[in-house]
Structure 1
């Protein structure tokens, strides 16, 4: 449960930073709506991580972290929806670090809760036969 709490905290930090940036002027840019979706989606994921003991919130946390960090990387390299960002500033680095922590903590939680072991046991019979000689 500790790893889920860390993932929830990390997702919340990223979500709230995106809300702060939205109020700080991002709302007037083309990416403004995406920052609001990120904020509310992140808060919902954080609540789900703490209240629903299932693999879905863990997958959502991994997706949240990867997609948010990925979108920033695109914005900082080639631009995203006409916005070209930079790898500078406390908000940027805090958000990126929190997103990385969210991914790692969710994967750790999935491992500790046995979801990876269940996946390996539930491989289809056709796939199992491929490795047998």
Structure 2
């Protein structure tokens, strides 16, 4: 259960950072702005699902959420994404990257633990 809590907190932190960045920077940016809001909404839903639905699917969603969000940022920081060329310059970027890695690794660890529990039954 503790893995789900850690992954949920990581996903929720990422979601809140994306909402904050939408308000501060990307509110009027064509593609990235709506993507930031979708990321916020999806992160909130996934974070809650991890805590209330003890099924493997929220763990998979957390892994995909972390991988897609981190992947989009890395693309934006290297070659640019939809006209946005991000930089590793503010603390929110570092925190978001860390919690997205936690979501990926924690989600995978949770899936492995779930698989072991099912195998023991």
For Structure 1 versus Structure 2, the TM-score category normalised by the shorter chain is over 0.9
The Cα shift of 1:25 comes to: 2.2
Q: Aligned residue for 1:18?
A: 18
Question: Aligned equivalents of 2:101 and 2:41: distance in 1?
Answer: 19
TM-score by length of 2: 0.92
SS at match of 1:37: helix
**Count of matched residue positions in the alignment of Structure 1 and Structure 2:** 118
Question: Aligned equivalents of 1:4 and 1:99: distance in 2?
Answer: 14
TM-score by length of 1: 0.84
Matched, 1:28 2:28: yes
Q: Please identify the structure whose Cα radius of gyration is greater.
A: 1
Structure 1 residues 52 and 104, CA, compared in 2 at 3 Å: closer, same or farther? same
Unpaired runs of 5+ in structure 1?
A: 119-133
**Cα deviations across residues 2-50 of structure 1 (Å, max 9, x unaligned)?**
0000000000000000000111021111210000000000000001111
**Quick check: 1:55–1:115 contact (8 Å CA) kept in 2?**
no
